Structure 1
């Protein structure tokens, strides 16, 4: 017996459905004509069974069926998505008919949602449908009460020429366009080739169809497909998709689209709802990586919570920490037509809604809770979803919010990973029973593997700074003497002139960076139809970069997007100030591929919450770190036609320390970067290792004789597995290097290895299919359409994708060695002699070293002064007798002087005096050894720092350490 599409994949899926209590009915045996969309008898029976008014007069069922058929026929003159939306409203029970007493309207039920398995379910194979002269045959159809709610297409598992993508294209690009009537009642579509399982919905392009993953299931193969089909194609899940996890929205071009939940959204929403219904644990932490659909997750969750019968229309708060995120999430909810949604405009409006116990979906910033009194609404039927909870869940704002709604459920939703410094996030949101304290986790590796987001390619291009220390020292000495500066004045001048800001914004440097940006953009970004974002140091840099770009590109090619305040020059306001409507219009122009606006210049805005899939390249000239860095670079990871990855061009060497930046979850990712030069050196040897599987085989011999000769060298499954594992290494190296011209001599051998791999379909030792997907560059090569771009000069590209994450998960001991080296260097520095004045040249030399090592921002540079303050105090103890409290005030003064800048104005003397006063009030003898005493001091210090807009955790901790030592 031979393997066929029918007896392997198609029948396998049908069998999975029957095991889910869905009866089997062959397509040829169905009670229907080829032109009928629905099964009349089961539908009529369901209408009578579920509607007492129709049971009293069964002919009313025909009236309902007439209305449904009218909707189906309407697709001849309208879009399938719009007709599907109307039909879905009927199936959800949102329509009524005048069947009640005296013609009163009563809701018509087509489906029993309360008892999913009590409906009439059937799965059929080989279902033919004819519309006019066009006829198509579906591999699989799942019926619910005679309505074709799920349509599937299968491809042979042993045919490498076809995949799930071909099956999806057959449904979307052929069947849906040629026989759209059959798709009007559809809930979901699915496609499989026996290796992978994907699902989508009407109107959804094939490349947006998503996978389904179950914990513990293989990532590919028949077992994986079976697990996915079992999870998706059962009565309960299909009706959940229908009722809760499908949205109809309006896109930017005012087109109606249908959105179906991805598996991580479906599963996370279910977990949240389950936790709220049970009512025992009142919190949960959800980490779904940037770009994987967190906003839609909140929409699906809110809809599910609001419609749950046990919760009786609860109040749902969506809380964000920035106005731009408020706008973005409000836009998502509004575009999705979520009913009873309010976006709060003011604190007084929020207080009125909370006081009234408003049962709506309320979107607000956390700052609007600042003045709300405690116990405004003590109901337990309040659910709060806090977006990016780790950023604002410390201090007064979070306390005020929790105090005003004390019995609410709180769920932290984050798109960036939580690291060791965010321990309060775990305390506030992470429940102990949850593994790792995450209710739901969807990592960077998961999102790239599933195609929810794209890999990121980093291209470090740090600018060289050459400093003549002797000349600077001499010049500074002359300047100081001419100005008759005292020692304190010299120190202040030295500190200001040596700032990272001055170096980054030096005119000569901006000139070179902008010239490189324009060259890279015009050669690599613009020709592919993508757009770019330039992230610069501050608002002044935005203006300087705009001026420099306008000298090389048309003025309409770029625009500045930044916030304005009273301190900004009027000229900036006249040129760049935008209200919310004007800014949104500008961003819509940027999203439009036909608009000449191609580059956005930003410094803080649009680094979070900004979604523009056409954005492919980000030019990074601002020190960023941790969550801010990750959120910023992920503006480029959205999927878009023809886009295989996002590009980050790094002018500050930030990604020299990328492994440390992303070492957020040691069990998942230890190191995520690799150097392209090392890959170039590694590739020939790895390719040869793969070729060594075929000694004596003539690779110039084509046709079946050549293929047989190659396959004979892979005589058993173990050998196939080992070859597959090695080919995986070669594939990833090829994709990471391409289009590097150094690959050209190896192209023929790589193509030959790929053909052999396709013919044997190797499986790795863990049981998962090795590379069920071939990279896009590999496919181009196989089709003999390889083109090699001009090599990028002086670049070491760093590729961050799912496979490299998996390969590097074991960690790199050299990373630990570097970490230890830095720690030792810092210890030595703390024991240097106590300097009263550091010459400007010495400061610049030290700054250069930090800069070239990838220092992340000016605060990091200034934090070095905190260690210097300790040594200074130690020296002062030897020189003169100073009271401990005066020493503390001196140390605190040094600490907060180091933090002064335009963005964080601090009145140092007043702040230090305030801290001194507060600490004296709350401290008592022996408070340092009493946990309660420590908490009181910490609370007082944190409150003062927050009011001064100082929110760095390590600054707070060092301030407390000083107080412990000297008070």
Structure 2
């Protein structure tokens, strides 16, 4: 068992080393042991920063002003000025942060601040700016997972950040480090560990050692700049975001280009790396520059016009006026609107012809900055030349994840145009290998499926034949083949999407084949798959199969329609309407476009806490739509039955590789075509020829080997599940938790392979389940002891139970187990009872309900008649127990019964735990100020336990 070497640097030594370094960087070291000292220091620093003296009553007014809202609200307060009513009747403005001249603030560093909320916590290192704690650094000794520091901060959120007038809710950036590795992230309780970032230099070289990170990132002016310029307030979700290093360098490069030249440039950031956030921040900074007249953000399709406008407004409400028609665009160009989002088609209309010429002519010599989203599509044609010719003083900046090079350029009237020839210079590059290394996107797992019989000699050949070398169209469109592909997807979809927790996109070669596939799913699926589809139905629609590129969707339905395809699509939309209660149609252009938006929103909104399983789309069947520009984290699989090449291939694959949680370990690509050569070419073009090992997952056999190696390590530590009970120390238990967690991480990857068979690994299912039960026993023990505020090295370990969470474990599953027990023959009852006991121990969802289910079995089930209704009796029992527990909670915590039920109903509806203010509002007796935080935290904890026991999966 691994033990810490006595020579390993301790956490205390690491902390002291950092404190000493920060003082050399210009921070004043202060000692602030408790809340009183923190508040006294804040008063002195605000007086110093604002050049005034505050009376006690004036300072209390400031504290009352600061002590409002959550971290999102306080971020706004931090950046605003407060109008302070002075004791003599005059007023003045108090500034909490100088955001325009960010280096001109007051800087301090302290450590071991102790605050007491529901529990007493000590924070490692705090950076104060003007007396407010704006950067919090949590350290772990070398060798400890940084995730434990992340979890520790989450514990502080629950326990004590609300203490001391909630000053620690003003933290903008958290830093976690074990000395060797260091990461940062914004104050956002909704994010996961995977949304923490390493800092790098401009060439994407990681700066991970704490000493180096402190020198580069925590330097006073730089960290202030990050807080003042590069924190983004997301309006819709009411949370903070901070730019990643490559986003920071890209924005800085664009600003430098605008300030110091009139030249153009482009940003090459791989698909999935957050270009919308980068471009928004660039636009937000550029509109404030006095030399810039307007910023125009240009997209090339209506779906991105909608999506980008929505996302810009999410980052800052009202920051963008979306344009529905060219007339509105012209009005915005003519008035004082500083930031405009529009399509390249409408922009082209606005600057050509005589209709709008007089209204926009004044812009010819104005400094207008254009930002082109996905410029690999939007900037190749006559429109680019028109824009350059009309706006003589314009600067053009492009964002792309897949630039156009000579190899993937399409010849036009002026020959082959590349991104470089149009935008002059790449200002910053962050390619897919960088993103995978930084864990900002996932690797791809590519599975080639299918075997075909050669008609001439009758021999079977694998799918990875060079289908481009022979005429295979007849084979690929053969109805028998389409049936087999459909059957394969139906059989394997649950495995690929973790029992439909994720959505898949199915990209096919033509509208005709799409129609055939949809009808095959209708006929052959008996598993209840929810299939949605959309395609363009204009009469002159062309199949882009010849070159493997992704065509653009057509929403301009003024042209003649292909009657057959339109009628079929109308039928498919009727299926959608029946299932989801909508009323879309192809007979109305606006309703058709709204149908497109509804599909995208429905898939994307699965990420929200409020998402309902009734709104689930399992497979989205498309030809070209949604294969570029569509970002949904809960899409994890792409089925492919069409040719793809170069940027079209990378764009389509990248629909699957957004990061969310531990369960989504890779983007699954299932290809029913030979795309191996095309994939190798695309990877070589957009990263380098040796990048396959970085971008693609290893073969199935490699993960089987890794599983068995991890299993051997586990067995060496604990030879049997029973041996876990004999572990003597918490260090031993931690070693077991880490060893078994490694096993379930690999198992999670293995289950995504269609060939996965547990016979391939060196453990049987029952033994695996027994180890899992012991693993969950330790987790439950840690949770129980944490409620008693017992300090343990296991407190901040992430058990990652989502990796062993089963979606099918719900009330129906429980009823089935109970019914099987009730109707079993007498000689079989003991075995059935043991089965239930095993399930209660092994299933994450059932452990909180174990005591109640056992109570039902012992007390109620024997009274159910032989033909009795187990389901009805269990429902009655569950309702009574739930009511009893709710009444007990209300009485013991002095809560209004109606108010408590309202909190429960609201939580179930919106998926958000009630705030302390909401809990306090339903209390019939208000707690004292000294005990308020601890009491409210306790009530929140008890309410969460009640919800988990009686409502989750029920």
TM-score range, shorter chain: 0.5 to 0.7
Measured against aligned partners, the alpha-carbon deviations of 1:860-884 in whole angstroms (never above 9, x if no partner) come to: xxxxxxxxxxxxxxxxxxxxxxxxx
Match of 1:267 in 2: 249
Match of 1:835 in 2: none
Mapped pair 1:395 → 2:408: no
TM-score (norm 1): 0.61
Q: 1:130·1:136 contact (CA, 8 Å) conserved in 2?
A: yes
Deviation at 1:330, TM superposition (A): 1.0
Query: 1:473-872 to 2 correspondence within 5 Å?
Result: 502-527=474-499, 529-551=501-523, 552-553=525-526, 557-565=530-538, 566-569=560-563, 570-575=566-571, 576=573, 577=586, 579-590=592-603, 591-592=605-606, 594=613, 595-641=615-661, 642-665=663-686, 669=690, 671=692, 680=701, 744=761
Mapped pair 1:136 → 2:118: no
The RMSD of aligned alpha carbons is 4.5
Helix, strand or coil: the match of 1:616?
strand
Q: 2:443·2:697 contact (CA, 8 Å) conserved in 1?
A: no
Mapped pair 1:411 → 2:411: no
Q: CA, structure 1 residues 179+306, in 2 after alignment: closer, same or farther (shift >3 Å)?
A: same
Query: 1:28-427 to 2 correspondence within 5 Å?
Result: 28=33, 33=36, 36=39, 39-47=42-50, 49=51, 55=52, 58-59=53-54, 63=58, 65-75=59-69, 80=70, 84-93=71-80, 96=83, 108-131=94-117, 134-157=119-142, 159=143, 162-180=144-162, 181-200=166-185, 201-215=187-201, 224-251=209-236, 255-278=237-260, 280-308=261-289, 311=290, 314-354=293-333, 356=334, 358-371=336-349, 372-373=351-352, 377-379=363-365, 381-421=367-407, 422=409, 424-427=417-420
Match of 1:755 in 2: none
- Residue range with higher mean Cα deviation, 283-292 or 193-202: 193-202
Deviation at 1:733, TM superposition (A): 12
Measured against aligned partners, the alpha-carbon deviations of 1:666-719 in whole angstroms (never above 9, x if no partner) come to: 65855458999988499989999xx9xx9xxx98999xxxxxxxxxxxxxxxxx
- Residue range with higher mean Cα deviation, 322-331 or 370-379: 370-379
Q: CA, structure 1 residues 520+357, in 2 after alignment: closer, same or farther (shift >3 Å)?
A: same
Larger radius of gyration: 1
Measured against aligned partners, the alpha-carbon deviations of 1:813-842 in whole angstroms (never above 9, x if no partner) come to: xxxxxxxxxxxxxxxxxxxxxxxxxxxxxx
Q: 1:97·1:107 contact (CA, 8 Å) conserved in 2?
A: yes
- Residue range with higher mean Cα deviation, 335-344 or 529-538: 335-344
Q: CA, structure 1 residues 612+685, in 2 after alignment: closer, same or farther (shift >3 Å)?
A: closer
Helix, strand or coil: the match of 1:151?
strand
- Residue range with higher mean Cα deviation, 106-115 or 194-203: 106-115
Separation in 2, partners of 1:353, 1:268: 27
Separation in 2, partners of 1:286, 1:469: 52
Q: CA, structure 1 residues 62+514, in 2 after alignment: closer, same or farther (shift >3 Å)?
A: farther
Deviation at 1:217, TM superposition (A): 9.2
Separation in 2, partners of 1:561, 1:609: 16
Q: 2:370·2:397 contact (CA, 8 Å) conserved in 1?
A: yes
Deviation at 1:427, TM superposition (A): 3.6
Q: CA, structure 1 residues 120+547, in 2 after alignment: closer, same or farther (shift >3 Å)?
A: same
Helix, strand or coil: the match of 1:198?
strand
Deviation at 1:179, TM superposition (A): 2.8
Separation in 2, partners of 1:37, 1:259: 30
Match of 2:29 in 1: 24
Measured against aligned partners, the alpha-carbon deviations of 1:214-267 in whole angstroms (never above 9, x if no partner) come to: 23899778x63333333332332333333322222245xxx4222221221122
Separation in 1, partners of 2:426, 2:392: 22
Q: 2:445·2:666 contact (CA, 8 Å) conserved in 1?
A: yes
Measured against aligned partners, the alpha-carbon deviations of 1:292-316 in whole angstroms (never above 9, x if no partner) come to: 10011111111122234xx366411
Mapped pair 1:467 → 2:488: no
Q: 2:432·2:687 contact (CA, 8 Å) conserved in 1?
A: no
Deviation at 1:513, TM superposition (A): 0.7
Q: 1:620·1:649 contact (CA, 8 Å) conserved in 2?
A: yes
Separation in 1, partners of 2:375, 2:438: 25
Q: 2:443·2:695 contact (CA, 8 Å) conserved in 1?
A: no
Deviation at 1:518, TM superposition (A): 0.7
Q: CA, structure 1 residues 782+258, in 2 after alignment: closer, same or farther (shift >3 Å)?
A: closer
Q: CA, structure 1 residues 539+14, in 2 after alignment: closer, same or farther (shift >3 Å)?
A: farther
Deviation at 1:548, TM superposition (A): 1.2
Aligned length: 666
Query: 1:871-886 to 2 correspondence within 5 Å?
Result: none
Q: CA, structure 1 residues 163+315, in 2 after alignment: closer, same or farther (shift >3 Å)?
A: same
TM-score (norm 2): 0.62
